Structure 1
Amino acid sequence: MTFFQFASNNVRRNGRAYAAYFLSSVFAILMFFLYATLANHPVLLTKGYVDPRVIAGMQGAEYIIFVFAFFFILYSMSSFLRGRNKEFGILTLLGISNQQLTWLIFLENIVLGIATILVSIVVGLLFSQLFLMLGSMILDTPTLPFYVPIQALQVTCSAFIVLFFLGSIATIFFIRHNTVLALLKGSQRPKREPKISILFALLGFALLVTGYVIALTFQNNGNQHPVQPILVVILSTIGTYVLYSQGNVFLIQILKKRRSYYWRGTNMLWLSELAYNMKDNARLLFIVAMILSVAFSSTGILAVFRPEERASANAPFTFTLAFGQRNSQSAQPSQDVLNHALAAKHFTYTTVSVPFITLQAKEGVSAYVLMSMTSYNRLAECAHVPLLSVHTGEAIALDPPKSIRPTDTLSLRESKKRLHLVAAKAPIALNDSSTNGSPLIVTDLAFQELSQHTQQGLYVGYNLSDWRMTTDLARNVQNTLNASIPSGKPLGLDRFVFTSHAWTYFNRYQLPRVAQFIGLFTALIFLIASGSFLYFRLYTILTENKEQYRAIAKVGLTESEMQKSVTIQVAILFFAPFLMAVLNTVFAMLAFKNNINPQAGSRVLLALVETIGLFLTIQLAYFLIIRMQYLSQLRQALV
């Protein structure tokens, strides 16, 4: 048998122990590969269906997955090595040298890493078309065809081969300095009774409560660099760690002092074992709680924006491009820039231009953009929306307040005329937010009279057959127009507004959906990895628990009692950090609501329920699977 065969057989014999690590690594590499496949799709790169920031976001997700995968692999391999200390000690007694043991561990990690990469690539190729279809739906693009992702294959293979290579080198240092006696003892070293500090336990609780109070009471009044959010993160982080290292053991000690409860059934067994486990696992539970807090909070905040993003996406955009300038005499140079850009791209288009005026209300600082009925109906005909009919003395508000009363009137500073406001009921022929003021439609005679008091502006609408192809053009035109304004010149009558259907659509709809798309899958990776961390810990103490339950079974412990004790301990191990993450997420979401949108209470509540419900379902399924496997291993000790 060659040394490589020996290493391969070791991986195969420990297949059940490596299962959670293997599957978690496969999922992380799979997500990396699928994101790379989508981000490098030739249709997205050449057809202009998505904003470059979307591609950058997916590439950013790849970096996050890669960095997280490195630390995940490093921690996972160190956990497995600690669980195999006794095996390494026996090999050392049989004559294996330090160099050979180091080479053995390195080969095992490389074999497992290559197998993980190959499985991830095969699964990724099988499901790439499904992921591309999902990506098309999220990005709202035509269905992306299947292609052979050569670049994604190269990036994934090279990145994770390097990652496993570096991880394999790093894990060697976890055992190379241990003595043979220490290796043979493995995890069976005597444990001291966990000691606690009531002062530190109360301090952790106080820090956590203080962080929550600051989060609820903080109001950002325009400060660009507030220190309160940073303080909240620091206090909640330290408080969470101290609670896990001291508070949990303190709570268990209180339960142990209640003799009527402690001596009932198997409570003595699982409480005593849990006290040691919670103390030993304080750092692990803290890491898992913080990972889940980040995953829950980011997913919940992204979910809050979903209703707003949908409403924004449905905002009226009757023209592919629209351009308005308050001074019609200054509009020609800006219009030439837009026409030249369209000609350079060889776009065919139709255009319509109409005059407007901008007036101020007598009360308040509101500005109103007025158009004549004839001018507006020219836009409506070009945009294929219903025409409007305005009566004398009326002004139809295209962007009215939520409720206009029949008695509402409008007085303008530049005129003694009072206009009766009427809300528009039909689809309007102006792009959303395409004017510097609330648009009103008046009669031709009223417009002619009011025009005597101010300078006329020009509104120009452009229609193209495929508005999605104009994202880059719109960005370049906007940058050119902004650069044309002399430095320090006030935005008076020369002020212009340029709107693009594609650009606004990508900003309001596509980018938030991509953020949700990336955030959800990244959060799932964090969730699965956190469950794997807990499984690694259980595997590390598996041998010790087998011997413990075998000894207790000889004095009368039944299988059902063993299952109950183990289930309680594993459940606490899984759901203690989960509940802490939920608590952190609730206060983070409430702070977000107070500072971003105090009226968004129902949306925040819905996002919380959806986020926590989704992750709770996944965590529960993970718990049941790992519990079943762990109990299966322990039952063998009772046979």
Structure 2
Amino acid sequence: MSLLDLTIRNVKRNFRLYSIYLLSMIIGVIIQYTFSSLMFNQDIIDALQNREMFQTGMAIASVVIFLFNIFFILYANSFFMRQRKKEFGMYLLYGLKERQIVRMVFYETLIMGAISLVIGILLGGLLSKLFGMLLMNLMQYDQVVSLSFPLGAMATAVGVILLIAVIVSVQSYFLVNRVQLTELFHANQKAEKPVRVSAAMAILAVFLIVMAFILICSGQGSAVWKDYGTYSMIGTAIGIIGGTYLFFRQFAGWLLRLISRRKKYHEGNTVLWTSSLRFQIRGNTLNLTFISLFSAVIMMLLCFVTINYKVQFDAVGMNVPNDIAYESLDPSTNEQVEGTIDSSKHKIQYHLKPQALVVSPVTDRGIAFDNPEYYIPGLWLVAEKDYNELITLRGDKEQVNLQGMEAVSLAQGSDYPKTYAAGETPSFTVKTDEEKTFTLKAKKDYAYLGWSTDPILAMDKKAAVFVISDEAYQQLASHTDKKTFEIYGLTDAKNADELSKQVHAIVAQTEGAYYSSFADVYSKQIESSSLMLFAAGFLALIATFALASVIYFKQLREATEERLQYSILRKLGAENSQFRSVIRKQLLFVFLPPIVLGLLYSWTIIKYFILDSVKDFPELPGIVWSIMGIYFLIYLVFYASSTNLYYRIINKNS
């Protein structure tokens, strides 16, 4: 019998064991191919404004997914190989050489890899179309995504399988070459020792976790974080990481020991599920700690990019509020711009020609603007009536009412917008042909002209604007230079990329002329935030599956090892209903704590460091809870699946 024949017979004889490993490989191929094919899909590329950014981002994410896949499949293989140690021992006993066993494993991996490639690519192609449509929907594009099977994506999937085949072969070589024959036959009989626990260490675990929560809940605006930010961050990290490790290493063991000392410990099935868990703590501590911490990271990443995506729509409008605005040039250029707009598909809703006075600030601009280095040099003064007219057309409620030498600074993106109380208003001096001092009534987080933009480079710097009373404007108008601006309101401004390029090309002929367009920033921001959300969602899905699988395969291994004990219990009179109850309680103790801790960490950090800073979006907490709810439900599915499979394994041949 050839090695290939032996390989085929092995697969047929142990189909259940092979099917678990094969399913892992198929899932790995589907994930890799689905994401890679998006990067090569021509329909998606044609729809994008920023193709290079998309391809770079997708390439980086694809590498991360590739590493996740390798980790996931090799972890599944480690479970698979552990179950076959006795089989390898038999082969060696019958005279097969180590290199023959390695070749057999290589053949097996290639056969399962070929099956995985066919199934994975077919299913991945369908999922790629679905996810491509989802990505276009996130970017608010109407592009149709066709079903395609790019060669580049196929080559990537083949590369993953070949690499896995090589790694698995090396892994099997070390297994059969470095381990003694007796160890192979008794590999599954090695029992773990229970961890020594103490009440003091259990209390320390709780103390560290509570300390971390107290520091986080104090909020980033508290004195603890403002004055001792570095120490607070170190303390939080120690509390979360150290507390979580001790929670599973000491607190869980101490709790199980406490349960075992109860008077009613031997009643029911408590003794069965707790005694098993006490012996599993040592092997599960690192896994459960890693799952808790990584779950928190996954949730924070996914919630952050979701919040970023939701906020971007309003953020672009706040930073670049005008559909098209530019510094008025000579009449012929203005007519050329208006003709270009008229000939486009975007109808003009309004067209204003306000003026601004150009003055030099004498007072430090930091009083009126946060981060003044982000603003265009100098200062522009806009009349109250011109400002209110534009604000009314926008439909905003940011009108002002000023008297005499009162002024309002428009510090868009301001960290601390403020309305000054009587007696606290700061003074701000500007110079024309003489110095004039204004009283700042408020600092508003709002833009009149917005950031200057470029169709290629997006945002550059923003205009430093004061709104002053009509009376003050009239007094200064004859003493300083003026700028006139052309401000257009258009229909479907978010899709005016091509129009903006044409208008910008005309305006840019005058060096240094101010130009700002909503479309220049919108397409880049929405594509980048959509790509971040899509990639993060995809990575979170994979990571969730991989992390849950760590627990899943760990429990499968333990179920296989405990099959003999359950067989003895059955002969002593234990019933199936008792077995099911024991398994549910035992696995619940393993699945639930890491997920609950991870969700608590992520929610607390998101609540006090992100949500509290975007209170203008009341729907965001509900979105965050929805994401966490879906994450929790996925783990419940894994829990239910694990309990059913665990029960089937312990009942096999019993």
TM-score (norm 2): 0.75
In structure 1, how many angstroms separate the alpha carbons of the residues matched to 2:192 and 2:321? 73
Distance 1:119 1:608 in 2: 35
Q: Give the CA deviation at 1:608.
A: 4.1
Q: What amino acid is the match of 1:270?
A: W
Q: Is the 8 A contact 1:252 1:275 kept in 2?
A: yes
Counterparts of 2:209 and 2:194, CA distance in 1 = 27
CA displacement at 1:69 relative to structure 2: 1.5
SS in 1 for 2:188: coil
Q: What whole-Å deviation, never above 9, does each CA across 1:517-560 have from its counterpart, x for those lacking one?
A: 22122111111112222221122233332211111111110110
Structure 2 partner of 1:619: 635
Task: Give the partner amino acid of 1:552.
Answer: L
Rounded Cα–Cα distance in structure 2 between residues aligned with 1:512 and 1:62: 17
> Alpha carbons of 1:77 and 1:457: their partners in 2 closer, same or farther (altered >3 Å)?
same
Change over 3 Å in CA distance of 1:373–1:251 after alignment to 2: closer
Taking the TM superposition and a 5 Å limit, the aligned residue runs for 1:561-576 are 561-576=578-593
Matches within 5 A, 1:197-596: 197-198=198-199, 200-217=201-218, 219=220, 226=230, 228-229=232-233, 232-233=236-237, 235-260=239-264, 262-312=265-315, 320-324=323-327, 355-357=355-357, 365=368, 369-370=381-382, 436-437=463-464, 449-461=475-487, 468=495, 470=497, 498-506=515-523, 508-593=525-610
How big is the shift at 1:138?
0.9
Deviation string 1:559-584 (CA, Å, 9 cap, x unpaired) is: 10111001111222222221221232
Do 2:40 and 2:150's aligned partners in 1 also have CA atoms closer than 8 Å?
no
Contact persistence 2:450–2:463 (CA under 8 A): no
Name the CA distance, whole Å, in 2 between partners of 1:469 and 1:170.
56
Conservation of the 8 A alpha-carbon contact between 1:24 and 1:528: no
Instruction: Write the letter of the residue equivalent to 2:56.
Output: A
Q: Secondary structure at the match of 1:289?
A: helix
Q: Which moved more, 1:200-209 or 1:396-405?
A: 396-405
Shift of 1:404: 13
Counterpart CA distance in 2 for 1:259 and 1:380 is 75
Q: Which residue identity lines up with residue 153 of structure 2 in the other structure? A: L
- 1: CA distance between counterparts of 2:176 and 2:289? 25
Q: CA deviation at 1:90?
A: 2.2
Residues in 1 aligned to 2:205 and 2:184: alpha-carbon distance in whole angstroms: 36
Contact preservation (8 Å) 1:593, 1:601: no
Counterpart AA for 1:513: S
The 1-side partners of 2:226 and 2:24 are apart by: 43
AA paired with 1:625? S
Who is 1:128 aligned against?
Answer: 128
Q: 3-state SS of the aligned residue for 1:34?
A: helix
Q: Is 1:189 matched up with 2:215?
A: no
SS at match of 1:115: helix
Q: Deviations over 1:145-184 (max 9, x none)?
A: 3153424424422441343134324422344312221111
Measured in 1, the distance between the counterparts of 2:114 and 2:144 equals: 30
Aligned AA (2:188) = S
User: Aligned in 2, Cα 1:318/1:189: closer, same or farther, shift over 3 Å?
Assistant: closer
Question: Structure 2: how far apart are the matches of 1:213 and 1:497?
Answer: 49
Counterpart-to-counterpart distance in 1, 2:556 and 2:530: 39
Does residue 77 in structure 1 map to residue 95 in structure 2? no
Q: CA, structure 1 residues 28+563, in 2 after alignment: closer, same or farther (shift >3 Å)?
A: same
Give the aligned length.
598
Aligned equivalents of 1:288, 1:213: Cα separation in 2: 22
Amino acid across the alignment from 2:184: L
Percent identity between the two aligned chains: 20
Q: Does the CA contact (< 8 Å) of 1:35 and 1:59 recur in 2?
A: no
> 1:208 Cα deviation (Å)?
3.6
Residue 263 of structure 1 deviates from its aligned partner by 1.1
Q: Is the 8 A contact 1:393 1:420 kept in 2?
A: no
Offset of residue 398 of structure 1: 12
Following superposition, the deviation at residue 355 of structure 1 comes to 3.1
> Residues 439 and 136 (structure 1 numbering): CA distance in 2 closer, same or farther, change over 3 Å?
farther
Give the letter aligned to residue 370 of structure 1: V
CA deviation profile, 1:187-211 (whole Å, cap 9, x unmatched): 1234444433555544444444444
Unaligned ranges ≥5, structure 1: 485-493
Give the CA RMSD over aligned residues: 5.0
2:86 alignment counterpart:
86
Residue 355 of structure 2 contacts residue 382 of structure 2 at CA under 8 Å; is this kept in 1? no
Q: After superposition, what is the alpha-carbon deviation per residue over 1:438-488, rounded to whole angstroms, capped at 9, x for unaligned?
A: 575987x985543224331243457999864749987xx89x99xx8xxxx
Aligned residue identity for 1:256: S
1:531 is matched by which residue type in structure 2? A
Q: Partner of 1:100 in structure 2?
A: 100
Q: Which amino acid aligns with 1:146?
A: S
Deviates more, 1:118-127 or 1:506-515: 506-515
Residue 469 to residue 63, structure 1, CA distance change in 2 (3 Å): farther
Could you tell me how far apart the structure 1 residues matched to 2:479 and 2:6 are? 93
What TM-score do the two structures reach when normalised by structure 1? 0.77
Distance 1:471 1:50, change over 3 A: farther
- Change beyond 3 A, Cα 1:80–1:455: same
Separation in 1, partners of 2:249, 2:530: 39
Contact 1:593 1:600 in 2 (8 A): no
- Matched residue of 1:281: which SS? helix
Local SS of the residue matching 1:68: helix
Match of 2:646 in 1: 630
